[in-house]
């Protein structure tokens, strides 16, 4: 069996025993860069870290030794431009090996990584650069083009580097690094020192910068091993379509895989395409994947891979929104495995999960608390809800995976907690067996004629209709019922919208759920408004309604 980093979960087949035996081991000093790169480069410099598939299908293997050299040269370059401990360094890059090298370099400096999604527009980028006070930016030609009208903002940065070619006010990444020294001694950092700042998705308001410490990587490890059924195993190879700028891509895939010594597949997609995703997984031998629910539904709508692609998947994890029983069952029939759902937030990620291998899995439920985390459904006063009672999902502090604070937002940080419970703003229910189900965001729960209705069950039913590709349910103000359920639907390719189809879909839901849950209004839309993390922006749908 290959030599991997030591596992943190006991390899047992009983959930309760694993929880009882698990213990955290968080050292006083810890640096993500050393953990995910340098220690491997020292022992096995030729070990494959990243498998980069180019658009033409050509694959390039990047070793830990190469990552160490690139990150050392970049750390020296940034330091020469005055970047040091605590400074924010922004990354605006798609999935590529340079992203990993840039993160590693930033952590070596003791600086703070500010990942920006490649799909962000100028306003989103400008907001984050200014709010964070970033001192440097590493991007590519496409990213630089988005900043053409933000030249005064760029002028405030100490250095701008572009991967691909130099641009106005920017230096060529690889040319500059070629002149830098290849040796660098990483700064000594405490486990609680800040390492990265990831902005929240902005589904319910302006994005906030969640400041994460170096220990956040260690805090993710139990969840990674749990969801991916005692990861790592021989032959494991990880891929996610999620942007590495998102916590789901960065901390559910890239950094943990590098930590364990498992190869990560990198591929830039202009737009998620089911056939290209299947082809990528088949060509690169992907064994483990983190695929958000929306992408899974697109895979489902694209047809079964059986007979078309030779997949070798061992585990699939999914999170970011409710998976739904329909997609759960599709995974078993089409992929030949049980999709393990997971739950968390940028502020405290991967704290609830399923692990089908040991029997922790239930259709329609997220799962149970990951060993090492205390998670519950609570009332507004912080008291625990009774089984079956609707409340807010919350995580108890201290917890190694929990964020430090919101950047320059002390009031928002304080308001995030009820006593020692970190609130999530997500409504949920815990059943008699300890499974927690996601109902919806606080603002997403629909109040109609005295009923409290979560959108997840309605949406799961809607996508079972053969004409529906994607669906979102929201509450529309109503003078009689307080709110009515309104559904926004993206139809499958080749299906035409009509009043008759809307009536048919309404009846489909009414006969399968209940009279108070079916959508009294349906709107067909060409595409669903989503964050870059694949979450539906319901706020925009509510405004539209």
Residue 479's CATH number: 3.30.300.30
Q: What's the whole-number mean pLDDT along residues 465-491?
A: 89
Mean of pLDDT values over 58-69: 97
CATH number for 16: 3.40.50.12780
Residue 413 in any domain: the answer is yes
CA distance 280 to 56: 11
Encoded tokens for 381: 């006063």
pLDDT score recorded for residue 295: 87
Both 75 and 194 in a single domain? Answer: yes
Does 155 share its domain with 230? no
Strand order in the sheet with 340-345: 59-63, 48-53, 264-266, 238-239, 288-290, 315-318, 340-345, 348-353, 368-369
Using alpha carbons only, give the angle 439, 394, 115 rounded to the nearest 5 degrees: 90
Residue 1, pLDDT > 80, answer no
| H helix runs in 34-119, sequence order | 39-43, 64-80, 97-109
276 and 415 both lie in a single domain: yes
50 found inside a domain = no
Give residue 120's pLDDT: 80
Confidence grade of residue 489 (pLDDT, cut at 50, 70, 90): very high
Paired residues of 423 in beta bridges: 394
Find the mean pLDDT for residues 12-28: 97
Owning domain of residue 505? 444-544
Last residue of a domain, one of 180, 214, 248: 214
Regarding whether 246 and 183 lie in a shared domain, the answer is no
Clarify whether residues 208 and 225 are in a common domain: no
Q: Are residues 525 and 501 in the same domain?
A: yes
- Residues in a beta bridge with 50: 62, 264
Is pLDDT at 510 greater than 90 in this prediction? no
377 contacts 389 by C-beta, under 8 angstroms: yes
* pLDDT tens digits along 391-433: 999 999 999 999 999 999 999 999 999 999 999 988 999 999 9
153 part of a folded domain: yes
- Tell me the C-alpha to C-alpha distance, in Å, between residue 46 and each of 6, 49, 66, 450, 498: 20, 9, 8, 63, 59
In this structure, the answer to whether residues 198 and 241 fall within a common structural domain is: no
Residues 289, 226 share a domain = yes
Stretch 43-61: mean pLDDT: 95
- Domain assignment present for residue 307? The answer is yes
The token pair at 149 is 């009208």
99 or 122, which is more confident: 99
Average per-residue pLDDT for the chain? 92
**297: in domain:** yes
Beta strands in 10-69 (DSSP E): 48-53, 59-63
How far lies 63's CA from each of 55, 93, 231, in Å?
Answer: 20, 20, 21
Q: Are residues 177 and 245 in the same domain?
A: no
Per-residue confidence (pLDDT) for residue 269, from 0 to 100: 86
Domain count, the chain: 3
Rounded Cα distance between 391 and 380, Å, is 8
- How much is the pLDDT for 514? 66
Residue 94 belongs to domain with CATH number:
3.40.50.980
pLDDT at position 202 is 53
Note whether 50 and 64 are within 8 A (CB).
no
Residue that finishes a domain, picked among 146, 181, 214: 214
Distance separating alpha carbons of residues 50 and 83, to the nearest angstrom: 27
- If asked whether residues 179 and 304 sit together in one domain, one would say no
Looking at residues 141-159, what average pLDDT do you find? 85
Q: Is residue 382 part of a domain?
A: no
Evaluate whether residue 259 is within a structural domain: yes
Question: Same structural domain for residues 102 and 182?
Answer: yes
Please state the rounded mean pLDDT for residues 340-363: 96
Percentage of residues of the chain with pLDDT beyond 70: 96
In a domain, 55, yes or no: no
- Per-residue pLDDT band for 67 (boundaries 50, 70, 90) equals very high
Residues 465 and 482 in one domain: yes
């Amino acid at each position: 069996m290959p030599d991997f980093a030591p596992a943190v979960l006991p390899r047992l087949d009983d959930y309760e025993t694993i929880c009882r035996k698990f213990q955290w081991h968080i050292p006083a000093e810890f640096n993500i860069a050393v953990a995910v790169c340098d220690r491997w480069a020292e022992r096995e410099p030729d070990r494959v870290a990243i498998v980069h598939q180019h658009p033409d299908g050509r694959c390039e293997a990047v070793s830990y030794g190469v990552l160490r050299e690139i990150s050392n040269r970049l750390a020296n370059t940034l330091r020469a431009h005055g970047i040091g401990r605590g400074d924010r360094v922004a990354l605006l890059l798609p999935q590529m090996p340079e992203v990993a090298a840039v993160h590693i370099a930033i952590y070596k400096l003791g600086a703070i990584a500010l990942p920006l999604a490649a799909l962000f527009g100028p306003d989103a980028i400008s907001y984050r650069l200014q709010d964070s006070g970033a001192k440097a930016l590493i991007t590519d030609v496409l990213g630089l083009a988005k900043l053409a009208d933000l030249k005064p903002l760029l002028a405030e940065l100490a250095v701008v580097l572009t991967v691909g070619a130099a641009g106005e006010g920017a230096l060529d990444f690889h040319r500059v690094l070629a002149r830098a020294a290849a040796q660098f001694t990483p700064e000594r950092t405490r486990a609680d020192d800040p390492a990265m700042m990831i902005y929240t998705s902005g589904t319910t308001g302006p994005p906030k910068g969640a400041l994460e410490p170096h220990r956040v990587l260690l805090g993710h490890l139990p969840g990674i091993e749990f969801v991916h059924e005692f990861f790592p195993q021989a032959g494991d190879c990880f891929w996610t379509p999620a942007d590495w700028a998102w916590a789901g891509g960065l901390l559910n895939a890239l950094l943990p895989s590098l930590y364990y010594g498992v190869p990560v597949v990198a591929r830039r997609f202009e737009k998620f395409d089911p056939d290209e995703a299947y082809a990528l997984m088949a060509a690169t031998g992907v064994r483990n994947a983190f695929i958000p629910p929306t992408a899974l539904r697109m895979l489902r709508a694209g047809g079964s891979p059986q007979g078309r692609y030779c997949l070798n998947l061992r585990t699939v994890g999914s999170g970011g929104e409710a998976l739904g029983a329909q997609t759960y069952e599709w995974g078993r029939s089409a992929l030949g495995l049980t999709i393990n759902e997971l739950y968390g937030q940028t502020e405290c990620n991967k704290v609830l999960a399923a692990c089908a291998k040991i029997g922790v899995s239930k259709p329609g439920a997220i799962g149970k608390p990951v060993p090492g985390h205390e998670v519950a459904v609570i009332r507004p006063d912080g008291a625990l809800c009774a089984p079956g009672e609707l409340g807010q999902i919350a995580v108890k502090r201290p917890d190694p995976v929990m964020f430090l604070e919101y950047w320059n937002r002390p009031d928002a940080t304080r308001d995030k907690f009820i006593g020692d419970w970190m609130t999530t703003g997500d409504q949920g229910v815990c059943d008699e067996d300890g499974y927690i189900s996601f109902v919806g965001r606080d603002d997403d729960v629909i109040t109609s004629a005295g009923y409290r209705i979560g959108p997840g069950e309605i949406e799961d039913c809607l996508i079972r209709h053969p004409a529906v590709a994607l669906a979102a349910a929201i509450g529309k103000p109503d003078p009689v019922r307080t709110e009515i359920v309104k559904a926004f639907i993206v139809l499958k390719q080749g299906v035409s919208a009509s009043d008759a189809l809307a009536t048919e879909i309404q009846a489909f839901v009414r006969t399968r759920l209940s009279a108070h849950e079916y959508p009294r209004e349906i709107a067909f839309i060409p595409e669903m408004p989503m964050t870059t993390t694949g979450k539906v922006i319901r706020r925009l749908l509510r405004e539209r309604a």
